[in-house]
């Protein structure tokens, strides 16, 4: 009987160890990654008052947002100035345009310059309202301002998917409080403290629903910048970069290598938040353009409609191929900044960008628009 009982126990255990009786562990699906092909439309609030006409490739008049959404654009970037010197890019204007973006089912990126005008590596001027503050007072202002801005967007149902803490902050921002260039190269703790306060405000309002971007102006120099920030363990999500061949390396293999190095070194998502390329060296108004000669571009991609399209296709492939899905997209800067009636008045000064727009001089959509199609 004992042997019989033991046999029964053995077979029972064997049966329980069979694959049919093993607990089934449910597979949790990996969320599908969104890859962004975006446009910076920060000029639209101003351009709309002049009612420029935009056309599709066949010449039919289109509504700009309807058209870019249908072309595949899934992200719109807008810059915000604190107390605008020229009445543009104000909080009220950006709030209003964010509502239009939401109505078109596109994500929204907010680029806070923390200045009353353009901020870039050579210009990081604090708002006039913040002049003369102590470092501690400025940190409080940065937190309160960021919180009030994010709250305003949240309250109207347009919380941004991404927010930039400063624009092209290679040199730091809010000079000289957070300056890190030249004689201020030991000032990284102050820069990091200011950025940290802004991030704290984003997290308080939107938690992790809004991804935080830190923005550097040059792909090839960004490793140094983010290495300097590592000791401060800043709570940001995305390395944002500008890439303009006019000002940077023209070797796209170097661009690819540096993007891969950034992703591997810092374990952050990567996005090129500013990129553009000319389709001609000609101009359509009386204002000098930023690009006008062959030495400013990449020889393999001439300043033609097809050259512009091929360049953007290559950029798209480079970002998509960053290992481990760290490359999450790119944003074309000012594709809508065409020449238009009234653009040579003292009000606007014209467009210095119409030969890098995504509409030609007849305002017909260019072939590069096809790169936005998934």
Six token digits for residue 304? 């033609």
Q: Are 189 and 135 in contact (CB under 8 A)?
A: no
In three-state secondary structure terms, 15 is helix
Gyration radius of the chain's alpha carbons: 25
Q: Residue 168 catalytic?
A: yes
* Terminal Cα-to-Cα distance of the chain (whole angstroms): 72
The size of the chain, in residues, is 374
Q: Find out whether the peptide bond into 224 is cis, omega within 30 degrees of 0.
A: no
> In Å, what is the CA distance from 184 to each residue of 171, 175, 177, 187, 198?
9, 10, 9, 5, 21
Distance CA 344, CA 341 (A): 8
- 274, 282, 344, 354: the active-site residue: 274
Out of 168, 228, 269, 282, pick the active-site residue: 168
Neighbours of 262 (CB within 10 A): 23
Distance CA 293, CA 282 (A): 10
Residue numbers annotated as active site: 168, 274
């Amino acid at each position: 009987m004992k042997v019989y009982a033991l046999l029964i126990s053995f077979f029972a255990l064997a049966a329980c160890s069979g694959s049919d009786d093993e607990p089934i562990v449910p597979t949790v699906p990996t969320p599908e990654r969104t890859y962004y092909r975006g446009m910076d439309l920060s000029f639209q609030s101003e351009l709309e008052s002049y009612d420029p006409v935009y056309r599709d490739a066949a010449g039919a008049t289109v509504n700009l947002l309807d058209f870019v959404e249908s072309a595949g654009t899934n992200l719109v970037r807008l810059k915000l100035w604190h107390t605008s010197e020229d009445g543009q890019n104000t909080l009220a204007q950006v709030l209003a345009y964010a509502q239009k973006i939401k109505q078109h089912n596109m994500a929204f990126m907010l680029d806070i310059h923390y200045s009353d005008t353009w901020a870039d590596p050579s210009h990081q001027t604090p708002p006039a309202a913040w002049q003369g503050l102590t470092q501690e007072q400025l940190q409080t202002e940065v937190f309160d301002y960021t919180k009030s801005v994010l709250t305003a967007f949240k309250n109207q149902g347009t919380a941004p998917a991404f927010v930039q803490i400063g624009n092209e902050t290679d040199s730091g921002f809010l000079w000289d409080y957070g300056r890190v260039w030249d004689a201020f190269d030991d000032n990284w703790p102050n820069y990091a403290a200011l950025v940290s306060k802004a991030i704290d405000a984003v997290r308080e309002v939107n938690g992790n629903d809004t991804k935080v971007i830190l923005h550097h102006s040059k792909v090839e120099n960004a490793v140094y910048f983010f290495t300097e920030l590592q000791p401060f363990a800043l709570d940001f999500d995305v390395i944002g970069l500008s890439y303009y061949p006019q000002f940077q390396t023209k070797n796209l293999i170097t661009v690819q290598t540096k993007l891969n190095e950034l992703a591997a070194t810092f374990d952050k998502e990567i996005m090129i938040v500013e990129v553009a390329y000319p389709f001609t060296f000609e101009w359509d108004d009386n204002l000098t353009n930023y690009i006008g000669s062959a030495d400013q571009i990449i020889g393999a991609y001439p300043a033609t409609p097809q050259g512009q399209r091929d360049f953007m296709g290559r950029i798209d492939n480079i970002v998509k191929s960053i290992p481990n899905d760290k490359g999450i997209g790119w944003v074309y800067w000012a594709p809508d900044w065409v020449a238009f009636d009234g653009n040579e008045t003292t009000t606007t000064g014209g467009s210095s960008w119409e030969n890098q727009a995504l509409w030609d001089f007849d305002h017909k959509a260019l072939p590069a628009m096809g790169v936005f199609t998934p």
